[in-house]
Every structure is written in C-alpha cells, then in structure tokens.
A and B are shown apart, each in its own frame.
Chain A
Amino acid sequence: MASQPRATPPSGAGPRNRNLLIAAAGAAIVVIALVAASLLLRGGDDDTEAAPTTGTTVSPSTLLDGIPQDRAVLGNESATVTLIQFEDLQCPICKRYQEEGFPGIVEEYVRPGKVKVRFSGLAFIGPDSEKALLHVLAAGDQGKLFQFADALYQNQGAENSGWVTDGLLERISGELGLNWQKLQKDADGPAALQQANSMASEAEQRGVPGTPWFYVQVGDGVPYQVRPGSFEIEEFRQILDDALSGS
C-alpha cells in the first residue's frame, strides 16, 4: 500500500506572506522616493547630456594669455620638463581634467617657464572626436591650439551626438579671433591629418589605454608614464617637482 503525502497546512505561511507583502510595499515606497529624489535633486548641470547646437557662448579663457605656443606645445620651449597629455576632446574625464587640473599646472609651472605641456590628441571615441581634433590642430597653425581645445571642452556635448557642428566651430573661431576660412582649409588639409595620425601612432606605440593619460619627459630622456590619483594640483605638484628635481 503506497503512502500518499498528506496535505498539511504549512505552519507560519500566513505571517511569511504578510512579511513579503510588507517588504514589497516598503520597497515600492523606497523606489518612489529614490526616483523622485533622483529626478529632483540630481547633481551637476548636465552639460554632457545636451549637445550645444545653437546659441552657445564661448568665453575665451585668459588663463593662457601671454604664454608662448608652438603648435601642440604650450610654454617656454627651453623648459626641460615636458608634460605630455593624451586626450580626446569628447572624453568627459578630459574635460574634468581641463577644468580641475590644467589651470593649476599652467599657473604654477607653465607660466613661470618651468614646464611645457605637449597636447597629444586622440580620436577614438567617434566622428565628433576626429572633427574636433582636426580643427584644434588647425587652430595650432594660428597659435591657439590650447585655447580652441579649452573652448571645445567648455561646449562638450554627449558622445557622438553630432555636437561638433560647423556652427560651433565657427563661433569658437570668431571668439578667439581666428581666420575661419583658413581654419577650415587647414582642418581639411593633409598636415592636420598627418599630425593626428602621428599622435595616434605615438599612443599606440606607448600602449595608451584611454584618456586622459599622462607622460613626463625630462630633457631628451624617454618619457615615463605618470598616474595622478586625482586632478588636484597637489598630485601634479608632486609629479612635476620630482621631474624638476631630477632635471
């Protein structure tokens, strides 16, 4: 005679189901509160989410005024220490570095002539990167590569959203007092492309994994990689002072 399983009421099933209901109700309240808080109290100004297509203002920085520039190199050409920056103009972390780290380096090291900075632009994020890079390099022909890059960072839009428009480039060109026709011609010319390719080759040769990525070169020595823990000037101070003391 086969035994049949008895249908016994599970003890405590009621309270357990009640607990599950309580948990679900509590979770619903938590979700509503978090989503509302996220929508109402979210941080930042979201300047990376909207592509600035029209009416964007460019405020030319005075940070670089009076500092010599030779195409992609900013600062005293006889400075023995060079900070090499690999960057993509669409990269939001590069924008953050430009805002938080770069000004202090310029004021403390570049303007006094102790260090020079070499811009090494990459265009791996997408078509907007390439268009932006070629125009920045073309601006270098008119002595304002760093100003043009800074203005583009100020107006950076969402990655590959088509934010690098001709209108934006022309406005920046006008604000910086550049010759727009020459800039366009140079950006489309072989020299800018060759320079961009040369920078990409150097990045590949060094194994640059992303941007921003930094190297320091002392004199004609082999550049060595540096990884600042943050973009605070203290981090760069340590790196650059070490390089200067060894130069």
Chain B
Amino acid sequence: MRGRRELRYAAHIEATEDEAARRSALSASMVSDRALRLAVAAVALAGACVAGYLTYVHYRPAALVCTGGGGCETVQESSYADIAGLPVALLGLLAYLAVLGLLAWDTELARTLAATIALGAVGFAIYLVSVQAFVIDAWCVWCLVNDLVIVPLLAVSTVLRVVRPR
C-alpha cells in the first residue's frame, strides 16, 4: 500500500517536472526567436549601412581618396565592382533591405526567403573575397567587413530562425 502511494507520488512529480520542462522549453524557444529576430535586424541594418556607404562612394568617387594602406579605391574602381552597370554594393544594399522587409513579414516563407538571400550572400561573398585576393590583388576593408563578418552572421541568424521550433 505504502509502496503504491510512493509510486503514485513519484509519477505525479515526474508529470509535473515534464510539464515545467515543456513550458520552460516553449518559453525559451519564444525568447530565443525574439532575440534571433533582433539579431537579424541588427546585422541586416549594419550590412545596409556598409553597403550604403560603398554604393555612395561608387557613385561619388570624389568621396573616396587613395591612401597608403588601403586598396579600397582599387577594388571600387575594378570592373568587378559592377554587374551589368549595377554596382555590386547596390545589390548588397538591396539584399539587406529585402531581409529587413522579410523580417517584418515574418511568415515561414519569409524566413525561408531570408535564409536563401543570406546563404546566397555567403557564396557570393566567398567569390568576391577570392577576386580581391587572386585577381585584383587589393583589399577593400569595408568590403571585407561585409563579406567576412556581416554576411556570415546574417546567414547563421537567418538559418537558425528557419530550423528552430516556433
């Protein structure tokens, strides 16, 4: 009799712990998604600022000066800075703005599209860094900040939003 009561008591405790764990996981998942959403917004905004600056100096070359340490002007003046007349920096700016728009929409499809853009940006960033290293033989610091820091961060945060439970 006593043994059966202990068993029931243990089962009750287990059920309660499971429920608590489930609620805690659900709560943590919600908080994490909110934090991820903020992270995507912050990274996309930072990327938009960098891409916006690079677009500005593309159209206003007088804003750029050659300095001893940097090859930014060489990269910006290179033929690889344009695709069919459109500055690569402008494409980047449009991509960041698209991610911000998709963040506001925030459906499953929007998350998938944002991850598509971010993963595509990673692949293109690898190509652009390779071009700087092996073809142009000059480094643009702001391009590297974008390609090696902002784009990977954006990819990680957007992919996490796709794979995490909602």
For chain A, the bracket of interface size reads: 35 or more
Tell me if A195 counts as interface (CB < 8 A to partner B): no
Partner of B162, one of A16, A37, A42, A94: A16
A230 touches B60 (CB 8 A): yes
For chain B, the bracket of interface size reads: 35 or more
For chain A, residues 141 to 194, give those with C-beta under 8 angstroms from any C-beta of chain B.
158-159, 161
Partner of B66, one of A3, A19, A94, A161: A94
- Interface 0/1 of B105-122, CB less than 8 Å to A: 000100111011111101
B165 touches A31 (CB 8 A): no
**Interface stretch of the complex, out of B36-44, B46-54, B131-139, B140-148:** B131-139
B112 touches A48 (CB 8 A): no
B74 touches A228 (CB 8 A): no
A92 touches B66 (CB 8 A): yes
Tell me if B1 counts as interface (CB < 8 A to partner A): no
Tell me if B166 counts as interface (CB < 8 A to partner A): yes
B81 touches A93 (CB 8 A): no
**Interface stretch of the complex, out of A20-28, A69-77, A113-121:** A20-28
Partner of A27, one of B79, B83, B123, B163: B123
Tell me if A65 counts as interface (CB < 8 A to partner B): no
Tell me if B35 counts as interface (CB < 8 A to partner A): no
Residues in A with CB closer than 8 Å to B153 are: none
Partner of A93, one of B61, B68, B80: B61
Asked whether A42 and B80 contact (CB < 8 A) given A10-B165, A23-B115, the answer is: yes
